[in-house]
Amino acid sequence: MQRHGRHVATWIALLAVAGCAATSPSTSERLANTAWVAETIDGTPATAARSTLRFFDRQFAGGSLGCNPYSTTYFADADGLRFGGIAPTSNTCPAAVMEQEAKFSAALQATRIARHEADAALLLMDADGKPRVKLAPLKP
């Protein structure tokens, strides 16, 4: 009987762990309603303009590429993070800002992996695991 009791206790512990895993937030839920500002794009400091990324809900995102606002969709699941087409406005800005916009947009399009870093940053990486954008939480 004591052996049976140990098995029951083990099963209860396993079910409790499985229940916790089932209720942990998905990537989509963790990203929803968060806002970020680019610190680096392809390893270069993002200093020409303020490039931002806001996750509005579990499907839509947007922000500023630097000069032009944009909108997009995103798909976050156990396999990673992907953005749909980037739809910016078409304002003309200084050359350095336009260059940063192009790099930020390309990096978002290449994103396949999102990882929260210990320093509260969000790291967006491509399919090869190469860091493309490091984002810091955007303060209101």
Mean pLDDT of all residues belonging to the chain? 84
Whole-number pLDDT of residue 92 = 86
Residue 64 has pLDDT above 50, yes or no: yes
Residue 62 in domain: yes
User: pLDDT by residue (tens digit) across 23-53?
Assistant: 455 677 889 999 999 999 999 999 999 999 9
pLDDT of residue 90: 83
User: Is 20 inside a domain boundary?
Assistant: no
Does 16 reside within a domain? no
Among the residues of the chain, which ranges form H helices?
2-23, 27-31, 95-110
Number of domains in the chain: 1
17 falls within a domain = no
| CATH number (domain holding residue 119) | 2.40.128.270
How far is the C-alpha of 32 from the C-alpha of 46, rounded, in Å? 24
Assess if residue 55 is contained within a domain: yes
Domain of residue 63, residue span? 26-137
Q: Is the pLDDT of residue 79 over 70?
A: yes
Q: 72 lies in a domain?
A: yes
User: Is residue 42, in this structure, part of any structural domain at all?
Assistant: yes
Residues 59 and 73: beta-carbon distance below 8 Å = yes
What residues are paired with 83 via a beta bridge?
74
Does residue 11 belong to any structural domain of this protein?
Answer: no
Model pLDDT, residue 102: 94
Q: Which pLDDT belongs to residue 17? A: 39
Global confidence as pTM: 0.79
